[in-house]
Amino acid sequence: MSVDTRTHGPSVPATGDERETEGADALAADERKRFSLSPRGRRTALVAAGLVGMLVSVAGFVIVSDAFDSRSEVLVAARDITVGEILSASDFTSDSAVMGGIPHIPYTDEAPFSFDGMVATHDVVAGTPILFDMVIARAAGPVGNQLELLVPLDTSLETTELSIGDTVLLIDRGQEPSLEDSGRPRQVIRSMELRDLDGTSLRLLLTPAEWGEWRQLLRFLGASPLVRKVPLGGDTDTFAEGLNEVWADEWEAAVARLQESRPPPGPLPGPGELEVRLGLDTSLTVTDVRDGDRVLLIDPGAAPEPDDDGRPRSVIMEMTLNNYAAGVMRMFVTPEDWIAWRALPVRLGANPMVLPIPAGTDVDDMRARLDAAWQAEWTGNRQLIQDGTVRNLDEALELSGAQAEAPDQAAGETPDAGETAETAPGGAEGGGVEPSTGETAETAPGDGEAG
């Protein structure tokens, strides 16, 4: 049986060189074993190395991007701008941006003033870079469907001239209270910045809806709105509230004074009564007619005409004027009488006439003599017209006047005081009384009753 002497042969004592080599190899193996990592340690080392590589990459990107980032200050809108608005320098501000090849206007302190007074041709959102093609010069007028409106301003509250850029209050001048209308206090309508002036008129470019609102406001005011500058650095709302409080106090004081001077209320209708106001013709008397006077209420009659006999003037009734002032008498009557009194001027063709009754006068005698005189006058005038002697009442009066003057001139006599007194109450005997305007109206003859 053969034996493999390569592995199992008898051991041969090592020489000195071999022993040194074996010692060095053993030492190296021990060193490698001491500094080698476990599998878990190797995984941790790999993760840390990846993180370091990532941080190095980000730092490199930042360094490179900063080298190419050239930010600049550009002109942008400071607020939302609507098409058609008139712009001012305060509508613009600056912002830092990387524009590259994007069109823009570099911001300088003077740049916003280049657009002062311009009109926006586009809607612009706050923060949008501004370009010159977004605006046009004010002289170009309305844009799109806009309408132009000039609002005259009353500068009587101001001592200095108005200027573009002024912040002002537009003010309703109010209306003074009166007995018929309580009026309204002066008050601030709105505040605004003056962006376009034509002398002392505010020039507005408005949408059709806004134009209609402004026109309605001006019609309500009835006059040009007052204008008052807001003090430099002052708060607009606080200033407006202070003015409104002052004006409200002044108006309330005026209303209070008016209430104190208001006459006491007149009488009111009683239960089941209605108020009727009757206009009265006082042309028959040269004396004042006053409340409380006893008077004769008179139908003014209707003058005869060729195709209409008319009717004579006549006394309707005796009455006392109660609640009478300035030619109008207030009466409180039943509904039936209310209808009759309301219809009386229509039936007569004019307001009834009144003649004061002198104290101590026999009313029945006065009434009879007046009716007789007016009847005779009407009969004579009618006969003249029917005979063709005259064509109308004016000619009849001229004829009767001429006939009355002839005997007096021949006799050279003047009626004495007693004769004058006898005819005074009616003032109608002798030549008649010139009719009032309503006498020529065609109406049905009166029945001599007032209802």
DSSP string, 9-73: SPP----HHHHHHHHHHHHHHHHHHHHPPPHHHHHHHHHHHHHHHHHHHHHHHHHHHHHH---EE
- Secondary structure element (H or E) that encloses residue 403, with its range: helix 393-411
Burial of 432 (0-12, 13-18, 19+ CB in 10 A): buried
pLDDT, position 260: 83
Burial of 114 (0-12, 13-18, 19+ CB in 10 A): middle
**How many residues appear in the chain?**
451
Region 200-223 average pLDDT: 89
Q: Sort strands 135-136 and 119-120 into parallel, antiparallel or unpaired.
A: antiparallel
Report for 143-157, 187-201, 347-361: range of highest mean pLDDT:
347-361
Decide if 200 contacts 162 (C-beta within 8 A).
yes
Q: Is the pLDDT of residue 368 over 50?
A: yes
pLDDT, position 61: 57
Q: Is the pLDDT of residue 308 over 80?
A: yes
The half-sphere exposure of 414 on its side-chain side, counting CA atoms within 13 A, is 1
Q: Which residue has the higher pLDDT, 332 or 431?
A: 332
For each of the domains in the chain, give its residue range(s) and CATH number, in order of start: 72-140 (3.90.1210.10), 147-261 (no CATH), 274-440 (no CATH)
Q: Sort strands 294-299 and 274-279 into parallel, antiparallel or unpaired.
A: unpaired
Tokens of 283: 């042309």
Q: How far apart are CA 445 and CA 312, in angstroms?
A: 9
Which CA distances in Å does 211 have to 99, 145, 205, 207, 219? 40, 11, 8, 6, 12
Q: Is the pLDDT of residue 366 over 90?
A: yes
pLDDT, position 144: 77
Q: How confident is the model over 116-148, as pLDDT tens digits?
A: 878 788 889 999 998 888 887 765 567 778 888
Closest Cα to residue 76, out of 127, 117, 35, 38? 127
pLDDT, position 310: 87
pLDDT, position 443: 35
Q: How confident is the model over 16-57, as pLDDT tens digits?
A: 555 555 565 665 555 555 555 566 666 676 767 777 777 766
Lowest mean pLDDT, pick from 245-249, 316-320, 418-422:
418-422
pLDDT, position 96: 84
pLDDT > 70: what percent of the chain? 70
pLDDT, position 215: 92
Report for 348-357, 395-404, 429-438: range of highest mean pLDDT:
348-357
pLDDT, position 347: 92
